[in-house]
A and B are shown apart, each in its own frame.
Chain A
Amino acid sequence: MWAHSMDNGVHVTVAIPVAWTFFFVLSSEVEANMKQRLVLIGNGMAGVRTLEELLKIAPEAYEITVFGAEPYGNYNRILLSPVLAGEKTIEQIMLNDDAWYADNGITLHKGKFVTKIDRAKRIVRAADGTEEKYDRLILATGSMPFIIPIPGKDLPGVVSFRDIHDVDRMLAAAQRKGHAVVIGGGLLGLEAANGLLKQGMQVSVVHLLDTLMEKQLDKPAAALLKRSLEERGLNFLMGAQTEAILGKDKVEGIRFKDGLEISADLVVMAVGIRPNAELAKSTGLHCERGVVVNDTLQTFDPRVYAVGECVQHRGETYGLVAPLFEQAKVCANHLAQLGYARYEGSVTSTKLKVTGIDLFSAGDFVGDDSTQEMVLQDPGRGVYKKVVLKDNRIQGAVMYGDTLDGSWYFQLMRDNTDISGFRDNLLFGQAHLGDSGHGDDNRVAAMDDSAEICGCNGVCKGDIVKAITDKKLFTLDEVRAHTKASSSCGSCTGLVEALLAHTLGGEYSQSPGKKPLCPCTEHNHDELRTAIRVEGLKSMRAVMEHLNWKTEDGCPKCRPALNYYLLCQWPGEYKDDNQSRFINERVHANIQKDGTYSVIPRMWGGETTPKELMAIARIAEKWNVPTVHVTGGQRIDLLGIKKDDLPGIWGDLSQAGFVSGHAYGKAIRTVKTCVGKTWCRFGTQDSTQMGIDLEKLTWGSWTPHKFKLAVSGCPRNCAEATIKDFGVVCVDSGYELHVGGNGGVKVRATDFLCHVKTEDEVKEYCAAFLQLYREEAHYLERTAPWVERVGLAYIKDRVVEDAENRATLAKRFAHSQQFAQHDPWKARAEGVDAYEYSPLKRVG
């Protein structure tokens, strides 16, 4: 399938003489035995990242050759600013030295500028005549600094800011001190100006408009930025249009439109970049502003890929590395003939790398008639925050002075989270949500060392700070591993992140957006689910092999997730992998702190009978159960059972008519009910029977996280239906359906889904909602965070508005229930997995 889409440029049907046919066959056979040749033009950040990604997933697939116009290995262009400011050296910013290319069998043609691509013969030629043949080609030629076409632009002493060569020239000029003029008050210009100032030059920034960084900042934030840069000694000429650069043999000054002239010993042009698509154009590839590519980063010639700043994708060009790295990943995926990844464009955010200046912006922070803005301004503290909202979703944000919540807003924006639940506190930041993320730098700074940060593991602020400094920890995961803080319920994650940021200062950077499922893989939950479905992967082995798992047999994080995804995707086909289940699910009981187990049989809808109670009493006595407890889920827990006794007690329970209550699983738990109209003077419907029906419908199903239901007989809501994953509140006219609630660590009341009239509708909506959750949520994501992530509107779309889709979902659920509704206890009482419940041997 993929071979097709990749090679459609080569399937040519023409009448070929017999001898030719022979030749064709021969040459393609020879090719089949040889490695394919991959040539990369442009030894920069996007191109080399593509190679790195490719080597990770298909190290043997290609014979690789790289042409780079610059005489170096690959370096981190972003860090040219700190090099200019004297905060880093060139050696420190090298990413891949010559040895890396050699170790990976890559031929590097350094300092060779490619001038011609012959797409018919598939040959690339450099200015010095070096030629290479390719089967696949990647263009990653970056962009060119824009040079204003004015007199004097070519004088010595006029430089741009793009590569090491430019930095060398600026540093040489800075030795002689004097006056530097930077044209352009954008990101690049300000970083150049700051660097030159640090090198001891006197620096003026000339900007055409009256706002600095107008693409990234709005006026108030730009004004704050300008003020603090002026305090550092930068000089600004705003609204100034350069007319000519003056000087005879070298730069001497600048003249503006209004006639003003100033002297200059160095002029830096930083007025913007444009995609470097010259080479692509010259070989006839379709280009607009940049080289036009599709979602697999292929140009109009499918053998030729393009990545990086030279690219135009869905009308957009990018000038920051985060999106380019996303492109690199997808391009490598396609080159490796995996083909399940798609690049769908990126949302970007900006930070200015001037030490001591906190500035953040992302998305559309200007807004229009359809958007609303929330602004917080505190000129005294030099703090400014603005968030632009549309339909309660963040479109963009700008912040200055206090950027701690920048990454939080960015995440909310990327996830398209509905913020109506905490809109009032949005601007005050995560700290003021009062629950999960208390991420406030100032707040953690003010805390005492003995203040407890992690309630689950009893870890204090002092312990964490000490671990960060002593053990040189940089990431949340490292802090979790070393201190256990935030490793259990996770509600203190925000505080721990704030501590990291506070302790490390500028060195702390949160990982951007896409988080892999675990260290065994590059892929995140959604990618894995898609790959399993699209590529028809039906076993754990197949997933790990196909997606290049980094470990032999996974880890306790990925294996249970994969097991669930496979089970959900291929009901009846996939064979559950017992060894990839957490102990409770593997032995169908909850392990207790002393290694014994608890057993909770189902008590349908929370209703029981004297006969059932007597059976439980008899069984509890027979097996000497030390504790019998009525649970929070309206049923009875038998605690302290030895593992060897489990099949025996299950056998007895099974004979008395009980089935497993799945209190141990990421599965359907309980359906709580109240007595309803059968007894209660306020009851409007038979809530107990409704609960029993729902439990009979759903029991046995495995879910991404536990799933609880409840049915209350009237809006007094005695069964607490509005803090359940699926809750029903009976009303006179029928049933109100509620979704996405839970008690627990972070209490969340449900969202109202819809009102229905009949019992059958309740069941169908319940099955459809449950199946949507089963198919689309991430493993270990309960309905509450899932609903927040995808938005209630989306769920309504799929379950309420689209009747056909609702029916299909419910049908898929019914299909999978056929295979799920078998009592695991009965099976084990009859001998399934017998080895689990007996020792290998008893000695002595």
Chain B
Amino acid sequence: MQQAEKKIAADNWIEVGRVGDIPRLGARVVCTRDGDIAVFRTADDAIFALRDSCPHKGGPLSQGIVHGHKVACPLHDWKIHLDSGLAVAPDEGCAARFPVRIDGDAIYLSLTPDDACPNK
């Protein structure tokens, strides 16, 4: 087990849990030394991971209402695209996106955010 985890870590993938651990249209948080990462599950069972910090004023996106492939920030209701981390226009900004891989039922998360986004 430990060894398997190390191997994946070498590829930068960490197993964080099962799809069933997250409620549909909900999110859970992965706590890291560099801050929380929100892992979302949509109605169609797609999994996305974003920095748990809204580009507006840092609201915890994991606590928002998930709808389609978007989440509404709980503090001031900005909508954020889960697949890109970008705020839904006309709002502007971006929550860093973390690569996710599903293997069977297991969720693997990479802790290296995509370069595309200034909010890391």
A residues neighboring B (CB under 8 Å) = 471, 481-482, 487, 551-556, 559-560, 578-580, 582-583, 587, 591, 593, 595, 835, 839-844
Contact = CB atoms under 8 A, between A and B. Distances in A.
A843 B30 contact: yes
Contact of A591 (B39, B65, B74): B74
Contacts of B74: 582-583, 591
B65 A595 contact: no
Given A553-B67, A554-B67, A840-B30, A579 B16 contact: no
Contacts of A552: 43-44, 68
A839 B29 contact: yes
B63 A839 contact: no
B33 to A, nearest CB: 4
B23 A583 contact: no
Contacts of B23: 578-579, 835
Given A552-B68, A579-B66, A595-B60, A844 B32 contact: yes
For the complex of A and B, 5 pairs with smallest distance between CB atoms: A840-B28, A579-B25, A556-B72, A556-B65, A583-B74
Contacts of B30: 839-843
B17 A841 contact: yes
B90 interface: yes
B21 interface: yes
A592 to B, nearest CB: 9
Interface in B11-28: 14, 16-17, 21-26, 28
A593 B75 contact: yes
Given A556-B67, A591-B75, 4 more contacts: A553-B42, A560-B65, A578-B26, A843-B33
B21 A840 contact: yes
A212 B58 CA distance: 61
Nearest to B43: A553
B77 interface: yes
B64 interface: yes
Contacts of A595: 58-60, 63
Nearest to B33: A844
A541 to B, nearest CB: 10
A217 to B, nearest CB: 42
Contacts of B33: 843-844
Nearest to B36: A839
A497 B72 CA distance: 26
A550 to B, nearest CB: 11
A553 B68 contact: yes
B21 to A, nearest CB: 6
A481 to B, nearest CB: 6
A555 B23 CA distance: 17
B1 interface: no
Interface string B57-93: 1111001111110001011010000000000001000
15 contacts: A553-B25, A554-B67, A555-B68, A559-B65, A578-B26, A580-B65, A582-B65, A583-B74, A591-B63, A595-B63, A835-B21, A839-B29, A840-B16, A840-B28, A843-B31
A347 B66 CA distance: 40
B31 A579 contact: no
B111 interface: yes
A579 B26 contact: yes
From A481, A578, A593, A839, residue with most partner B Cβ within 10 Å: A839
A579 B65 contact: yes
A649 to B, nearest CB: 18
Contacts of A579: 23-26, 65-66
A730 B117 CA distance: 62
Nearest to B65: A556
A471 B92 CA distance: 15
A552 B75 CA distance: 24
Interface band, chain B: 35 or more
B65 A840 contact: no
Contacts of A487: 77
A844 B77 CA distance: 31
Nearest to B70: A555
A593 B30 CA distance: 20
A790 B11 CA distance: 64
A556 B66 CA distance: 8
A840 B59 contact: no
Contacts of A578: 23, 26
B28 A835 contact: yes
A595 B28 CA distance: 14
A556 B77 contact: yes
From A551, A555, A556, residue with most partner B Cβ within 10 Å: A556
Contacts of B75: 591, 593
Contact of B22 (A556, A560, A840): A840
Contacts of B36: 839
A579 B67 CA distance: 10
Contacts of A580: 25, 65
A835 B19 CA distance: 13
Nearest to B25: A579
A841 B75 CA distance: 24
Contacts of A842: 30-32
Contacts of A481: 90
Nearest to B89: A481
Contacts of A839: 28-31, 36
A844 B58 CA distance: 22
A698 B43 CA distance: 35
Nearest to A581: B65
A553 B46 CA distance: 14
B14 to A, nearest CB: 6
From B22, B43, B65, residue with most partner A Cβ within 10 Å: B65
B74 to A, nearest CB: 4
Interface in B84-120: 90, 111
B48 to A, nearest CB: 13
A762 to B, nearest CB: 38
A583 B67 contact: no
Nearest to B79: A556
A587 B32 CA distance: 23
Nearest to B27: A840
Nearest to B88: A481
Nearest to A551: B68
A844 B35 CA distance: 11
Contact of B67 (A555, A587, A591, A844): A555
Contacts of A559: 65, 67
Contacts of A471: 90
Contacts of A843: 14, 16, 30-33, 111
B39 A840 contact: yes
A843 B17 CA distance: 12
A578 B60 CA distance: 18
Nearest to A481: B90
Contacts of A587: 63
B16 A841 contact: yes
A538 B63 CA distance: 26
A840 B37 CA distance: 10
Nearest to B66: A579
Nearest to B60: A595
Contact of B63 (A554, A583, A835, A844): A583
Nearest to A593: B75
Nearest to A488: B76
A593 B16 CA distance: 28
B118 to A, nearest CB: 21
A482 B90 contact: yes
From B22, B24, B75, residue with most partner A Cβ within 10 Å: B75
From B14, B23, B31, residue with most partner A Cβ within 10 Å: B31
From B25, B39, B57, residue with most partner A Cβ within 10 Å: B25
B50 to A, nearest CB: 14
Contacts of A482: 90
Contacts of B63: 583, 587, 591, 595
Nearest to A841: B16
A232 B30 CA distance: 72
A582 B59 CA distance: 14
Nearest to A467: B90
A587 B65 CA distance: 12
A560 B65 CA distance: 10
Contacts of B44: 552
